[in-house]
Chains A and B, each alone.
Chain A
């Protein structure tokens, strides 16, 4: 069972669902479930992972980043440093709950939420462990894979250049469609439900392009990191995860899995479930 909760991040009220595990006694270890780019707490991957973790004995908190779902904040402005602040606010909120063991709170994020999870744990030493599925470190390289043809890169670069000159001139940033920033193949678009954000400020593109978690991931040293990625990911190239792995300290696992796609936490895949369960058992056990 989950209950509605809210907490504050930079003065904005964020909306979450907190659930206690199916077994075990308080204080419980906990995992915070974080959604991807312009998604929300009730998307397919979050609906799968929260009960999956609770069944193992972890409390969960899934929440909407600012500007997404039911949280406050300007719609369509998704910026790494602001989502990292939200993730740290979520961590502090959850760690402060009576039923939760504050020393054992982990982050689990998918896609944009994976990158944010890694960065938040790098900045907040209280985070005990991280599971990052389908993320990346270097924003520019991530976008280069996404806009791989010369034509597509040209088009994307022009959008960013226009956004930067608007910023320079102090103008209102223009809005662009989600798929002009992060294209998703037709067959996978069912994973992005109508409650997701579809139009974004160009500031989202600029800030994401300029962001590089590879520079800070080493600060997680000593705390376990699991990087999971689809081997044939046609949204975020798996290079995103192996470059993060290369920049990370141990203990870090890199598990690149074939036969699943970018939205694998929504696929109820047995192999993925076992890998995560075994990793948690090894590095972030319930008992």
Chain B
């Protein structure tokens, strides 16, 4: 009898300080201590979670290619503990490192072949983590970004929108100083998303975030470390005409990256690249993996 998908998925828990983080580990049937397999940590986007479209569909694609996957919920997201919506970039980097620590303890996983795959916010975190942790052997970023401030300028392009956005950051700082509490702000005031794309967000994802989240994104710069990934392979995927995260973000990361780095901008996908089940995306990822990080 064929083993059902259920039996190959295992719920796991990571400890981040006092917080418990939830994850789902998938091991291919062939993985064993004798024949350990390559594995990917799969990261969700801004305020999303491990079971949202991009993470789940992206992980499934990797599983079909023969990799183990570990999808985790970041602190404050999905089934993980933590103040709801308190999403801080550098904390996510630490959590990815915990996930790598965990994979290193699993005998079925080859700890010399650990990759990262992330979408959007998760793409930025993937690139940053790989640039600062040499255990990462390969990286796939879809719709990621390398310079938070420049990204926000692209997302709030008019003088009025920019003034409103930076005013929100100022108010957040003041509110925190005066009350000790975070100012909660609506998701689309941080990252505007066109109406027609909102279905691509993780169902049940956060609609409000503390202003510190926006500040942490503003200050986050994968651009500064992307050059340290080479000679480990990096695949930068992006919509050619992304209506959420400006396409230039991946072009600029490419300019700062060493080789081998591939930059693939596709005109028939939008921001939620993996969730769209585009056959070209699948072929490109499959061929890239075959060339640089075969299962």
Contact = CB atoms under 8 A, between A and B. Distances in A.
B251, B267, B287, B291 — most chain A CB neighbours (10 Å): B267
A245 B279 CA distance: 22
A232 B266 CA distance: 20
B263 interface: yes
A256 B280 contact: no
Contacts of B259: 231-232, 258
Interface stretch (A26-34, A110-118, A269-277): A269-277
A219 interface: no
B280 A278 contact: yes
A255 B283 contact: no
A224 B262 contact: no
Interface residues of B, number: 24
Given A278-B283, A282-B280, A231 B263 contact: yes
Given A224-B267, A231-B262, A275 B251 contact: no
B170 interface: no
B241 interface: yes
B254 A256 contact: yes
Contacts of A283: 267
A182 to B, nearest CB: 22
B254 A251 contact: no
Interface in B257-272: 259-268
B283 A242 contact: no
A172 B267 CA distance: 47
Contacts of A256: 254, 262-264
A58 to B, nearest CB: 19
B283 A274 contact: yes
A247 interface: no
Interface string A51-67: 00000000000000000
A121 to B, nearest CB: 16
B203 interface: no
A251 B268 CA distance: 8
Contacts of B291: 259, 271
A186 B233 CA distance: 26
Interface in A246-275: 246, 250-259, 270-271, 274-275
Nearest to A241: B263
Given A270-B287, A271-B288, A274-B283, A258 B265 contact: no
A254 B263 contact: yes
B98 interface: no
Contacts of B248: 246
Contacts of A246: 248, 251
Contacts of B280: 278-279, 282
Interface string A204-238: 00000000000000000000100000011000000
A231 B283 contact: no
Contact of B261 (A224, A251, A252, A258): A258
Contact of A271 (B254, B263, B287): B287
Contacts of A251: 240, 267-268
Contacts of A232: 259-260
B240 A258 contact: no
Contacts of A259: 260, 291
A252 B233 CA distance: 25
Q: 4 shortest A-B CB distances, which residue pairs? A: A258-B260, A251-B267, A256-B263, A254-B265
Given A242-B263, A250-B240, A256-B262, 9 more contacts: A242-B251, A245-B251, A251-B267, A254-B265, A256-B263, A256-B264, A257-B262, A258-B259, A282-B280
11 contacts: A231-B261, A231-B262, A239-B255, A245-B251, A251-B267, A251-B268, A258-B262, A259-B260, A270-B287, A278-B283, A282-B268
